[in-house]
Structure 1
Amino acid sequence: MPAKRVKKTPMLERDAKLRASDFIEVNQGYSIAHATFEAERCLRCQDPLCVAGCPVHIPIPEFIHEIAAGNMAKAAKILRSANPLPAVCGRVCPQEDQCEQICHMAARFKPVGIGYLERFVADWERSHAKSEGPKKPTRSQRIAVIGGGPAGLVCAGDLARLGYPVTIFEGLHAPGGVLRYGIPEFRLPNEILDWEIDLLRDIGVEIVCNVVVGKTIQLDDLFDKMGYSAVFIGTGAGLPKFLGIPGENLNGVYSANEFLTRINLMQAYNFPETDTPLYVGKRVAVIGAGNTAMDAIRSALRVGAEEGMSIYRRSEKEMTARVEEYHHALEEGVKFHWLTNPVEILGNDEGRVTGVKCVRMELGQQDESGRARPLPIEGSEFVIPLDNIVLSLGNSPNPLLVNSTPGLEKNKHGCLVMEEDKPQTSRKWVYAGGDAVTGAATVILAAGAGKDAAAAIHKARVFIMAA
């Protein structure tokens, strides 16, 4: 069956109106006024808990104070000195669970809108950007970064600022990793990601695409044949998990990874102009209720689905999606089947999905995650008619690199094993961070890991030179 062509929907029209490139120009007047008003709510605490709660340790009171003073250029400089990807993190970082959660204002009032202010300053910077031209490295030790996702980009950016020649080796044909293929365009426009990446190129970061380390070249080649002094692994967690139930091999079943990659990176929405079809029927369900699940089902509605739903074995209280992403999904008509667990995917004689058999659940005692364990209710099976199912059950690291590199240790979950209190692997001069170490987590945690690794690499190189 041919893929459906994209039809113009109210959501697509709304997304077009809200593109970040239009935000500054259309809303310049009241946006600055609102940003200044919000910035003035910051107490500039002597003990800024918000900074400790930020994985990349942005000096939050300092950049917010400059907004309140009307000095947007200085605010942008402070922000970017700590975080090479402020326009990205301002959009996708869960500030409400980190810096804003422990803001002193939150004790009696709403916390300062740190995330919105970060996004505003980054967008202001983009609309007032002045290129200073490419900068040349000042150090001789070359550093290789494997993976062009958030961990790799931040690590490369910090090392380049320290004067190191840095090369990112990216397996796909465009850098960005999960920022490009895993987060929809309506939430993180590619033009913003490309702008951030171009700024990294301006400070000397070299990006080489279509190179899969562990297949195209080996990790040891980076040291032995190419002369790099240290390597950072930021390959993420791109291996999807499955339910292990009958019917998962039917046509119309996708992992969220494949579904979003086909839409975002391979332009499946534009078939047949592009040669990667994506069949989306009238009724689509995502299994899961995290941020990726919300991205997947909202994307499905934008590429032709008439009805979208989320099937989740726990209750609304236990869902892991951000509150704002959940609200956006509700606004767009997504239905939620709480305390519902799939036990079999049903199909027709042509091998295509027709529905999913589910069982009702009830919550028991807490499990190792700290959430109530869902237990099936006997005799409660029922069927939901569907055309597509997207499995959003989490991801684990791809084993290709670790399996092809002698001496690179991993744990039972496939994650790289690190030295205690150090972002260094079991191999000398090989560092790592992000989802390749922790398993699937957030963009900002990956960015923080990249930043920590850059500092560790620099400290080790300086120590060697001084010895």
Structure 2
Amino acid sequence: MNKEELSAQRAEKWREELRKSRKAKERTDIPRVRMKELDPAYRITNREEVNCGLTREQAVLEATRCLDCVEPLCMTGCPVGINIPKFIKNIERGDFLSAARTLKETSALPAVCGRVCPQERQCESKCFYTQKLKKEPIAIGYLERFAADYEHASGEVALPAMKPCNGVKIAVVGSGPCGLSFAGDMAKWGYRVTVFEALHEIGGVLKYGIPEFRLPNEVVDVEIENLRRMGVEFMTDCIVGKTLSYDDLHEMGFKGIMVASGAGLPRFMNIPGENLNGVMSSNEYLTRVNLMDAANPDSDTPVWRGRRVAVIGGGNTAMDSVRTARRLGAEKVMIIYRRSEDEMPARKEEIHHAKQEGVEFLTLHNPVEYIGDERGRVCQMRLQKMELGEPDASGRRSPVPVPGAIETIDIDEVIVSVGVSPNPLVPNSIEGLEVTPKGTIVVNADTLQSSIPDIYAGGDIVRGGATVILAMGDGRRAAAAMHKALQEK
């Protein structure tokens, strides 16, 4: 190659790089998509889903913003390892079904994750826009929801690649996100998987803990039906540790057991008045409303409909509870949180929606006593005003009482949402299973294998409380480790 040819080649390479940089500049100038929402005044009268999804045009335009990074850091923020650039590029090309198939390569619940995962703290927080450009990230969660919903609406729901059945039976305790994720991966490898659920509905916390205005039951049912088509069997109304023992599962021929029984034991604050009528946990409140039709006055077990409702806590479950109370007709609904709003663990979107729906936020307040009337029903609450001190182990500034700053407010219902503890049934029923002082199952950090070799565990029963996507990530890791161990045998 002579000098002129070399010079021409360099010039063309420079022009190509210039074209790419201009293309990137055009992409980065596109504003992040805004999803349509139901009007607050309308949505508090029903349980319809608040977020309405993206149109095809919105999805393609948002996908066009993706810069197709050489090193896609967004994937490092995804606990289940979704190939995010690949599924987004399929959307950009208009190949929505291929986008959905890409999601299913690693995620058993893409329509669920697209709705409830905290993408702003995970994949989207790693996006190039966030890290380098200081702009709003690609709406990865919105696009995931779009692709999964599109596939379902199309009627062309595909299953992931499946290996032939190997006849090996695997038991899963609990049908929440961890158990379902684990079951999906084991089914792909050819195992005969049976999921045992204590309640009468499959889905665990996805059904009993998350209201339909945030995650419709129909969406969860579609994902569960896909698992059934993959060969996963489900047994409801079966409590492992009571209905069936560990030994029973062995006698039934199960070669591996995944414990994903969650953290369904509510915590309280141990303050005066917690035993009054009208004070309940968010677990009970949401389970009764979501699974037992308790919002219906004609129900066998109707829930109390307070007019002045206080929800204690600042997480997503607290937001779900206070927004549910609003939909059940409460005239005044309050979030009582001992730190400031900046320290709230709830998703920003949920806080925003709660404010739109008329929820009052009493931050830097902490209840110290509930007061009852002559009938034994809560009627008032005493609140201690707080201020922020030094950061604690979580990195958040610790709340400190302001001396003498106590006020009393009128309420007629309290929903306590200050955390949960692990379900003790399985740990207490298996001799030799190592647990922590908090009741969580001790596992190997890499494989999630417990002190009993054929038992693996993940999700809230190990973490004590986590997000849907972290639980799903545990399910995938445990499945990979159990599969490897069984293959070595």
Does residue 1:153 correspond to 2:153, yes or no?
no
- Name which of 56, 61, 83 aligns with 2:80: 56
Any stretches of 5+ residues in structure 1 without a counterpart?
Answer: 1-8
Name the amino acid aligned to 2:73: L
1:146-204: CA deviation from partner (whole Å, max 9, x where unpaired): 00000000100111111111000000001101000000011000011111101100010
- CA–CA separation in structure 2 for the residues paired with 1:396 and 1:43: 42
Partner of 2:209: 182
Q: 1:226 to 1:359 in 2, by over 3 A?
A: same
Structure 1, 45-54 or 165-174: larger mean CA deviation = 45-54
> Which residue of the partner structure matches residue 418 of structure 2?
393
Distance 1:310 1:144 in 2: 40
Q: Distance between the aligned counterparts of 1:262 and 1:15, measured in 2?
A: 15
CA RMSD, aligned part only? Answer: 1.8
Which residue of 2 is the match for residue 112 of structure 1? Answer: 138
Q: Distance in 1 between matches of 2:76 and 2:193?
A: 28
Q: Secondary structure at the match of 1:416?
A: coil
Change in 2 beyond 3 A, CA 1:10/1:293? same
Matched, 1:11 2:11: no
Name the % identity. 53
What TM-score results when the alignment is normalised by the length of structure 2? Answer: 0.89
Aligned equivalent of 1:255: 281
Mean CA deviation greater in 214-223 or 245-254: 214-223
In structure 1, distance between residues paired with 2:163 and 2:97? 24
Q: Do structure 1's residue 218 and structure 2's residue 242 form an aligned pair? A: no
Q: Deviations over 1:277-322 (max 9, x none)?
A: 1012210010011111000000001112111000111111111111
Q: Tell me if 1:202 matches 2:229.
A: yes
8 Å CA contact 1:137–1:204 kept in 2: the answer is no
- Cα displacement (A) at 1:133: 9.7
Within the alignment, does 1:240 sit opposite 2:266 as a pair?
yes
Contact residue 19 and residue 189 of structure 1 kept, 8 A: no
Q: Structure 1 132/40 Cα, relative in aligned 2: closer, same or farther at 3 Å?
A: closer
1:40 aligns with 2:64: yes
Q: 1:122 aligns with which of 117, 127, 148?
A: 148
- Counterparts of 2:371 and 2:196, CA distance in 1: 41
Aligned-residue offset at 1:453: 0.8
Q: Is structure 2 residue 354 aligned with structure 1 residue 329? A: yes
Residues 183 and 260 of structure 1 are in contact (CA less than 8 Å); yes or no, is this contact kept in structure 2?
yes
Correspondence for 2:167: 140
- Matches of 2:170 and 2:164 in 1, distance apart? 11
Do the aligned residues in 2 keep the contact of 1:171 with 1:209 (CA within 8 Å)? yes
> Against the structure 1 CA distance between its residues 188 and 420, is the aligned structure 2 distance closer, same or farther, given a 3 Å change threshold?
closer
What displacement does 1:43 show?
1.4
- Report the CA distance shift for 1:112/1:306 in structure 2 as closer, same or farther (over 3 A): same
Query: Deviation string for 1:23-48 (max 9, x for gaps)?
Result: 57xx7xxx111101111111111111
Partner of 2:431: 406
- Corresponding residue SS for 1:381: strand
Greater shift in the superposed pair: 413-422 or 161-170 = 413-422
What amino acid does structure 2 have at the position aligned with 1:139?
Answer: N
The structure with more radius of gyration: 2
Taking a change above 3 Å as real, the CA distance of residues 418 and 222 of structure 1, as seen in their structure-2 partners, is same
Q: Which of 427, 448, 454 is 2:479 aligned to?
A: 454
> Which aligned runs of 4 or more in structure 1 are off by greater than 4 angstroms?
12-15, 131-137
How many residues end up aligned between the 2 structures?
A: 447
Q: Secondary structure at the match of 1:286?
A: strand
Find the counterpart in structure 1 of residue 257 from structure 2. 231
| CA deviation string 1:34-91 (max 9, x = no partner) | 1011111111111111111100000000000100011111111001111010000000
Counterpart CA distance in 2 for 1:41 and 1:335 is 36
Is the Cα–Cα contact under 8 Å of residues 136 and 204 in structure 1 kept in the other structure? no
Say whether the 8 Å CA contact 2:159–2:226 is kept in structure 1: no
For 2:177 and 2:427, how far apart are their aligned partners in 1? 20
